[in-house]
Amino acid sequence: MRPSLPRAARILLFSILFLSNYEWRASKTPLKGTKGISGSSPETLGATNHVWEDLDLSSTVSCGHHRCFVPSVSNKKEGYVIARSEKQTLLGMMNETKLAKEMALSYNAKTYHIAGELPQELIMPEETRLKVNVQVRNPLREHQFPDSVGENGNINNFFDSPTVVLQRMMRSPNEILLVHCADNGFTRKQLPTFILNVVDGGLFGANLARDRYMMYKMLAGMPELATDLQLLINTDGELFFIDFGGHASWTMKDKMILTVRPREELCGESLDMIIDALKNKRAVLSGEWKWSSQKYRRLHSTARNGKSR
């Protein structure tokens, strides 16, 4: 017969096995109040009440076309992305989370995702929904479709359904520049305010050059990201990639549209425009600075001619 373990050791071993089995089963059980692979309907539960109480709605809420970011009351470095629960929203945000990890591991690309934080489909309480809708602002929509917003810049009933998809994220600094590679006109409007907060132009330029090289290297390996590339740039010139969830399921039509150099020229123009504005800061602040696509082409034509000599 094999010698038996001492009683105390048997109790300790049993406890470890019990807890391990419990944690395994808990990890396989979908969170109540979420909609996951099982397709169960979302519910409003007491376990999620702390999320709604943690939304900082003391000021306006910045939104895109489909989602908003609301700061956290309890943690000033974090907040919540809240998306309207439309077709494939949860899947898209799941894909975005997976892509964020791949981008970080393969290219050292920066996003605002928090490791281990997954999106959840929840029911937003009616009182919270009404409060959020009052604070919703969409600067990009106001730029592109000014007639679609109210007199004070708000969008009535942005969240027209209580079902939303929510994910905890890192919070971006207040001094940030949005670069939408398909529309640098919006970026140009932000420049006078943004460049006032850039303290070290040399550091900004060096970091931007480094991250720009990384971005083109990443686009060569993950060209689907170029279908709707959006970036945030902080005052140190670092790039943060946002809103790329739908790119994981790009179509054959998208592949046909993209060229060998996916959107390098369009994004390149936006980034060159920012550098040019920093070099001509006084002209930008006085309203005398001008930028056009022709200027971008002249700059690159001069660079190419210099290299060929």
Q: Is 229 helix (H, G, I), strand (E, B) or coil?
A: coil
- Residues (pLDDT < 70) of the chain are 1-48, 138-156, 245-266, 293-309
Q: Are residues 133 and 224 in the same domain?
A: no
Res 23: pLDDT: 35
For residue 10, being part of any structural domain is answered with no
d(CA 61, CA 68): 7
Write down which residue in 170, 192, 218 finishes a domain. 170
For residue 30, being part of any structural domain is answered with no
Q: Are residues 123 and 51 in the same domain?
A: yes
221 burial level (CB within 10 Å; 0-12, 13-18, 19+):
exposed
Q: Are residues 120 and 210 in the same domain?
A: no
Q: Are residues 139 and 221 in the same domain?
A: no
Res 13: pLDDT: 41
For residue 24, being part of any structural domain is answered with no
For residue 309, being part of any structural domain is answered with no
Sheet containing 67-71: which strands, arranged edge to edge? 120-123, 163-170, 78-84, 67-71, 61-63, 136-137
d(CA 53, CA 102): 32
d(CA 184, CA 178): 9
Amino acid letter, residue 18: F
DSSP secondary structure string for all residues of 58-72: SS-EEE-SSEEEEEB
Where in the sequence is the domain holding 252, given as residue range(s)?
176-304
For residue 29, being part of any structural domain is answered with no
Of 40, 128, 117, 30, whose CA–CA distance to 81 is shortest?
117
Q: If phi over 0 gives left and psi between -120 and 50 gives alpha, with beta otherwise, what is residue 67?
A: beta
Q: Are residues 165 and 187 in the same domain?
A: no
Task: Kindly report, residue by residue over 135-177, the tens digit of the pLDDT.
Answer: 888 655 554 445 545 554 455 688 999 999 999 999 999 899 9
Q: Are residues 183 and 295 in the same domain?
A: yes
Write down which residue in 121, 148, 170 finishes a domain. 170
Q: Are residues 159 and 180 in the same domain?
A: no
Q: Are residues 210 and 271 in the same domain?
A: yes
For residue 239, being part of any structural domain is answered with yes
List the beta strands (DSSP E) in 219-307.
230-234, 239-241
For residue 218, being part of any structural domain is answered with yes
Of 121, 117, 76, 112, whose CA–CA distance to 230 is shortest?
112
Res 241: pLDDT: 94
Q: Are residues 56 and 78 in the same domain?
A: yes
Q: Are residues 166 and 184 in the same domain?
A: no
d(CA 96, CA 100): 6
Ramachandran angles phi, psi of 224, nearest 5°:
-60, -25
Q: Are residues 162 and 222 in the same domain?
A: no
Domain count, the chain: 2
Write down which residue in 170, 205, 228 finishes a domain. 170
Task: Kindly report, residue by residue over 248-269, the tens digit of the pLDDT.
Answer: 555 555 555 554 444 556 588 8
For residue 122, being part of any structural domain is answered with yes
Work out the angle between the directed axes of helices 264-279 and 201-221 (0-180°, nearest 10): 180
Q: Are residues 90 and 139 in the same domain?
A: yes
148 burial level (CB within 10 Å; 0-12, 13-18, 19+):
exposed
Q: Helix count (H) and strand count (E) of the chain? A: 11, 9
